[in-house]
Amino acid sequence: MNNLLSIIIPVYNVEKYLVECLESVINQDDYNNNLEIILVDDGSTDGSLQICKDYALKDQRIKVFSQKNKGVSEARNLGAIKSEGKYLTFIDSDDFIEKTYIKDLYEACKNNEADIVVGGYRYFRKGNPSQVSKHFTDIEIKIFSGYDIIKNIYNEVWGICNNISPCCRLIKRELVLNNPFPKGKFAEDLFTTYKYYLNASKIVYIKKILYNYRKRESSLMTSKYNLRYLDVLEGIENIIFEIDKLKIDNKFIIESYLKQILFNYKRIIKYNLKFDLKILENKFITASQKNKNLNSKYRILSFFIKIKVYRVYKKIKYSFQNSINKIIPNKLKK
């Protein structure tokens, strides 16, 4: 049996955080001899690549690959191709893991013959924990089928279903190779993680915090809105398509989809971006009719969108706000 585990870390301009990440990886409590650590530099312009090379000289488990800047999807795909382990895990280079991350994930995988093992996580900002993943069960280890996960995806009670990141997971390598990350997409995880679940026979959840997500102001997720956020709608539409094929009634993903439509709709109006709002209006109206169990507010809002009242209201609201922002200095508003 191949007991090698592959840790894949895409790297891009993270010299400020990379050492903390790598130190957490190379200093795991157990299974250190079973690890290969694959660093894929995605064309960094700071000192990140040199840090990777320095660590590779100190630790023979580390392999460094470099490519021209192509994005995190292609960096992860390259890492998966170069990996040799039966299972792999992704870690973002500005995050860090707990000392028992590998031990807990691997033992749960081995003991339960799982295809995927998922652990708990926390978010932190500037070194301070800000949000801990929701545990939807009091059982320390719980086993699911892929169908169980897809049926409840986006159910807020199920923390395992809400986090679409491939991080904080130990995943059978063949699942990753058969479902590569899409090139050039925003929220690329959304296009991929659900496919792992669809093709997995057994998924294990560990009720333990093992992964630390760093929230950075400079990241795309926290920066000013742009039209790349529309990729999220496409990703959710792909999941809904698969759910419909399985004849699963899941109102949670429809409601999340409607919220994402509204998020994009309001910001396109607010920032006066060039985009045909009819496309989003039609998506909202159609989706709001898909599930009879949806919150009634979505049906009411669908009516106002259909008769164009909502669009007029938002345009007036944001036009007024923008005028106020130009007149009143930021210091006075505070």
Question: What pLDDT sits at residue 325?
Answer: 77
**DSSP conformation letters of 47-91:** SHHHHHHHHHHH-TTEEEEE-SS--HHHHHHHHHHH---SEEEE-
Decide if 204 contacts 156 (C-beta within 8 A): no
Domain residue ranges of the chain, discontinuous segments joined by +: 5-217, 224-333
| C-alpha span between 134 and 212 (Å, rounded) | 14
| C-alpha span between 278 and 259 (Å, rounded) | 16
Q: Which homologous superfamily is 5-217 in? A: Spore Coat Polysaccharide Biosynthesis Protein SpsA; Chain A (3.90.550.10)
Enter the tokens of residue 185.
């997409």
Angle at CA of residue 218, ends 215 and 220, nearest 5°: 85
Per-block average pLDDT, block size 10, for the chain (334 residues)? Answer: 87 97 96 94 98 98 97 97 98 96 96 95 73 55 89 76 85 98 94 95 92 75 80 96 92 94 96 95 94 89 95 92 76 49
Enter the tokens of residue 138.
């009091």
Decide if 284 contacts 278 (C-beta within 8 A): no
**DSSP conformation letters of 280-310:** HHHHHHHHTTS-TTS-HHHHHHHHHHHTTHH
Question: What pLDDT sits at residue 334?
Answer: 47
Question: What pLDDT sits at residue 158?
Answer: 67
Q: Output DSSP code: residue 167.
A: B
**Residue 76's beta-bridge partner residues?**
none
Enter the tokens of residue 319.
């036009």
Question: What pLDDT sits at residue 201?
Answer: 94
User: How do 203-214 and 141-144 pair as beta strands?
Assistant: antiparallel
Question: What pLDDT sits at residue 117?
Answer: 96
Question: What pLDDT sits at residue 2?
Answer: 66
Other C-beta atoms closer than 10 Å to the C-beta of 94 total 21
Phi/psi of residue 92, nearest 5 degrees: -75, 140
Question: What pLDDT sits at residue 218?
Answer: 56
